Amino acid sequence: MPIQIIVQKCTGCTLCVKVCPFDAIRIMDAPRLIGSAGVPPSAAKKAVIDFNKCTLCGACVDACKFKAVLLDKTTPAAGKIDISGYKGVWVFAEQKKGKVQSVVYELLGKARDLARDLSTDVSAVLIGDRLEEEIQELIWRGADKVYVVEKRELANFLDEPYTNILVELIKKYKPEVVLCGATSLGRSLISRVAIKIYCGLTADCTGLDIDKEKKLLLQTRPAFGGNIMATIISPNYRPQMATVRHKVFPESTSDMKRKGKVIRENFEGAAIQSRTKLLDIIDEIESTVNLSEADIIVSGGRGMGGPENFKMLEVLAQVLGGAVGSSRAAVDSGWMPYSHQVGQTGRTVSPKIYIACGISGQIQHLVGMQSAKIIIAINKDPDAPIFKVATYGIVGDLFKIIPALTKQFKEILKK
């Protein structure tokens, strides 16, 4: 194994045991050392790694004050790929029905920061059909170049042709960073692209920065439902690819003075063939606002008492221009459709404001919404775990508080 404990340096202090996210380290007696000259009995306790659990994450290496954990991260790939030829930051410009998705503008803003630190430029890749206006908007929002592939057959997303095209463009133009929205479309596409190219891909980054010395993309993401954060790099492979969820970064503003270059690429034949055929696209009318894109979400749980009471949340959401979410309990009771479920088995959201009504706040729900900027919790149980994450907590009868809130918001928003 590329990781080992240097027994001579290990003091058995347990620091590594405490930081190991995988419970892979135990302190055990090292019988051979007991009684050795100069080794006090207390020092005979040593860290032992369980290789079946260890994922080589390196948390223990950083934690050890005695430099007793050795992790060899040199891989055979080092130097295999000439990374110096890769330049530029790319954003995959996801479009649906000819409309570029808002997450793309959020990524363009971040891409500009990264490009500045890398002294390079920003490009958007737009695949679809009849996208003239969108090309202009991408430039206004921060793209120095827009690679455009337009074809009737490409109007709607399909895994295979979109993968083929993105792979070919990456091979041809060699960007050093590729960013993509962590949407259902983006995740399906970019995972496939990363395999075909053989490069690193980090999902759901909440932080993207540049190590200015090494010119590396530092990708920070939550794991274990946000209980730990990991910073990930991909030093020996290019491009360095990352997905980012909606609302993690602010949208870049549109500057109509910005100029950019449009590069059109044409693909024919096998590259645009799809074995999978799209037969129909059905938009569910009841979800008027896309939950992942909503700035404000009003969510209801078991405390709502029944499906009829969700009307109250809809009214409040409407006043606020937000969407209605739901806990798993309310979905399982048949009060709300699954598409509204927030949490581990539903959607992960990070709106500006999340209003949790009658939701107790089980960990599975919290992992889906705790990155919201402001959390407001209304619950009759003062001990409900939701209050532990709430920015503002209200203990009381939601059937009285929600109408009062709706009235107040209406007044201030003059609706």
Partner 1 sequence: MNIIVCIKQVPETTDVRINPETNTLIREGVKSIINPFDIYAIEEGVRLKEKFGGKAIVITMGPPQADAALREAISMGIDEGILISDRAFAGSDTWATSYTLASAIKKIGVFDVIICGKQASDGDTAQVGPGISAHLDIPQVTYVKKIEEVKEKSMRVERMTEEGFEVLETPLPALLTVVKEINQPRLPSLKGMMRAKQAKITQWTAKDIEAEPNHIGLAGSPTQVVKIFTPPARSGGQMLQGEPAEIAEKLVSLIKDALH
Which residues, 150 to 209, sit near partner 1 by CB under 8 A? 159-160, 163, 183-185, 187-188, 191-192, 194-196, 198-204
The size of the interface with partner 1 (CB under 8 A), counted in residues, is 116
- Angle value at C-alpha 34, between 30 and 37, nearest 5 degrees: 130
What SS3 class is residue 243? Answer: strand
41 vs 58, beta carbon nearer partner 1:
58
Q: Is 335 in the site for partner 1 (CB under 8 A)?
A: no
- Return the residues of window 285-324 that contact partner 1 according to CB under 8 A: 287, 290-293, 296, 320
User: How near is the Cβ of 147 to partner 1 at its closest, in Å?
Assistant: 22
User: How near is the Cβ of 270 to partner 1 at its closest, in Å?
Assistant: 12
- Residue 63 phi/psi, 5-degree rounding, is -75, -25
- Binding partner 1 (rule: CB under 8 A), the pick from 18, 67, 264, 415 is 18
Q: Is 204 exposed, middle or buried (0-12, 13-18, 19+ CB in 10 A)?
A: middle
145 vs 347, beta carbon nearer partner 1:
347
User: How near is the Cβ of 94 to partner 1 at its closest, in Å?
Assistant: 11
- Residue 243 phi/psi, 5-degree rounding, is -110, 150
Q: Are 27 and 48 in contact (CB under 8 A)?
A: yes
- Give me 201's structure tokens: 């891909």
**CA 168 from centroid of its chain's CA atoms:** 25
- Return the residues of window 117-136 that contact partner 1 according to CB under 8 A: none
CA distances from 302 to 335, 372, 379, 387 (A): 9, 21, 10, 16
Q: Are 95 and 198 in contact (CB under 8 A)?
A: no
- Binding partner 1 (rule: CB under 8 A), the pick from 28, 32, 77, 133 is 77
User: How near is the Cβ of 25 to partner 1 at its closest, in Å?
Assistant: 10
User: How near is the Cβ of 338 to partner 1 at its closest, in Å?
Assistant: 5
- Return the residues of window 249-278 that contact partner 1 according to CB under 8 A: 274-278
Q: Are 375 and 389 in contact (CB under 8 A)?
A: yes
Q: Are 225 and 344 in contact (CB under 8 A)?
A: yes
- Return the residues of window 209-238 that contact partner 1 according to CB under 8 A: 218, 222-237
145 vs 245, beta carbon nearer partner 1:
245
